Amino acid sequence: MDLNNLKPAEGAVHKEGKRLGRGEGSGKGGTAARGHKGAKSRSGYSKKIGFEGGQMPLQRRVPKFGFKNINRKEYKGINLGKLQELVDKGTVKGEVTLDTLIDNGLAHKNDLVKILGDGELKASLKVSVHKFTASAKAAIEAAGGEAISL
């Protein structure tokens, strides 16, 4: 190692950018590399999101369609097979409530829950959630359980 090959540590030196608008002698005086006239040369210019130079923007050109029902309720679907898995693991005995489902990570506290009929339920369970499909309700009652809508 010699004095001629010493260098500062990586990241220790920050190179400053070109100083604009600091006199003609700097080569970046006058217009300060902004060019002549137009919005981009002015102070305070900021391009609006989606602005296409006056051309009709894409989000206004594309046709809108469909209908969004503001009163729609979204239900979190849980299949009978999942309930049977909980019984097999031993986390549920006899009764399934919203709190049970939340504790086992199948639903969140603000979810509306609907039991769906996919899978097979062998255990007799008292299930109390917001909704049931017809096949799920029939399967729960066929296994000797009870389906209670909140």
For the chain, state the CA radius of gyration. Answer: 33
| Alpha helix (H) residue ranges in the chain | 58-61, 80-89, 98-103, 134-142
This prediction's pTM: 0.57
Q: How does the average pLDDT of the chain come out, rounded? A: 92
| Residue extents of the structural domains in the chain | 74-147
Residue 100: predicted pLDDT: 92
Give the CATH number of domain 74-147; options: 3.40.710.10, 3.100.10.10, 3.80.10.10, 3.90.1720.10.
3.100.10.10
**In angstroms, rounded to a whole number, what is the distance separating the alpha carbons of residues 93 and 124?**
9
Among 15-19, 54-58, 124-128, the minimum mean pLDDT is found in: 15-19
**pLDDT for the residue 93:** 87
Burial of 45-72, coded b for 16+ CB within 10 Å and e otherwise, reads eeeeeeeeeeeeeeeeeeeeeeeeeeee
Which tens digits make up the pLDDT trace of 91-116?
888 899 999 999 999 999 999 999 99
Q: pLDDT digit string (tens) for 53-90?
A: 889 999 999 998 899 899 999 999 999 999 999 999 98
Is 109 in contact with 90 (CB distance < 8 Å)?
Answer: no
Name the burial class of residue 121, with classes exposed (0-12), middle (13-18) and buried (19+) by CB atoms within 10 angstroms of its CB: buried
Q: Is the pLDDT of residue 18 over 90?
A: no
